[in-house]
Amino acid sequence: MSWVTKTFSSTLGRKLLMALTGLFLILFLIGHVSGNMLLFKDDGGQAFNEYAKFMTTNPAVKILSYLTYISIIGHVIFAIMLSVRNKKARPVNYAEAKSGTNSSWNSRNMGILGTIVLIFIVVHLQNFWAQMHWGAIPTVTYESGEYKDLYAVVNLAFSNIGLVALYVVAMAFLAFHLNHGFASAFQTLGLNHKKYTPAIQFIGSAFSIIVPAMFASMPIFIYFSSLN
């Protein structure tokens, strides 16, 4: 084995990849939530539709989106590899274990939380991303030209209370996943420092609440708007 393959078959090498892909996906979430805030703009969806076109046609965004796909797939594959190893490391479980006294629930269940988030991502991609790329969706014309009316697709989707509930619940799971994952990624990278770690932990906790709450507010807002 070369040193590269040896590194990425070691536990620490795989954890490094988990941390790097995880942090990249955190950056992706910042971009995703910021752009989607345009849904709140009271302009009949023009800004959002223009943004959606930009996001699907701009070459730089294209590169970033491929990086995002790779990160999601990589994060999942290495998580599976590590989880299999971790399960094998304890073939016989304890009859009694008070894990709640020494660690948080989400830190012990990142795999389960991640699986739920992954299922959500698949549903979410099917709902909008696939529609935008290959779906037969209506178009709308502004001064600057013709646009796919993704705003209408979003509005239609979130007039369904079931889908709104699914999105809100999924964001709660994402929050728990991020609540441990954010600071954990820094620890894995070896970035543990008396000065900065408390700040990283604080920002991680804040991020894990604010970002999923912002995402969840979108379907809720659209649902209530659709009632009028």
Partner 1 sequence: MNLTLKVWRQKNSSDKGGFVNYNIADISEDMSFLEMLDVLNEELSEKGEDPVHFDHDCREGICGMCSLHINGKPHGPQQTTTCQLHMRSFKDGDTITIEPWRAAAFPVVKDLVVDRGAFDRIIQAGGYVSVNTGGVPDANEIPIPKKIADEAFDAATCIGCGACVAACKNASAMLFTSAKISQLAMLPQGKVERKERAEKMIAQMDEEGFGACTNTGACSIECPKGISLTNIARMNREYFSAIVSSENV
| Sites of contact with partner 1 (CB under 8 A) | 2-3, 6-7, 10-16, 82, 85-86, 88-99, 101-104, 107-108, 110, 180, 183-184, 187-192
Q: Which residues lie below 8 Å from residue 15, measured CB to CB, with a gap of 6+?
A: 82, 188
Nearest-approach distance from CB 103 to partner 1, in angstroms: 4
For partner 1, which is the closer residue by CB, 41 or 85?
A: 85
Instruction: Round to whole Å and give the CA distance between 73 and 67.
Output: 10
Residues in the chain: 228
3-state helix, strand, coil in the chain (%, to 5): 80, 5, 20
CB-wise, 18 or 216, nearer to partner 1?
Answer: 18
For residues 222 and 155, is the Cβ–Cβ distance under 8 A? yes
Decide whether 89 or 136 has the Cβ nearer to partner 1.
89
Q: How far apart are CA 173 and CA 107, in angstroms?
A: 12
* Residue placing its CB nearer to partner 1 in the complex, 21 or 188: 188
Q: Among 167, 130, 166, which Cα is nearest to 150's? A: 130
Least distance in angstroms from the C-beta of 7 to partner 1:
5
Q: How far is the CB of 206 from partner 1 (least distance, A)?
A: 19
Q: How far is the CB of 116 from partner 1 (least distance, A)?
A: 17
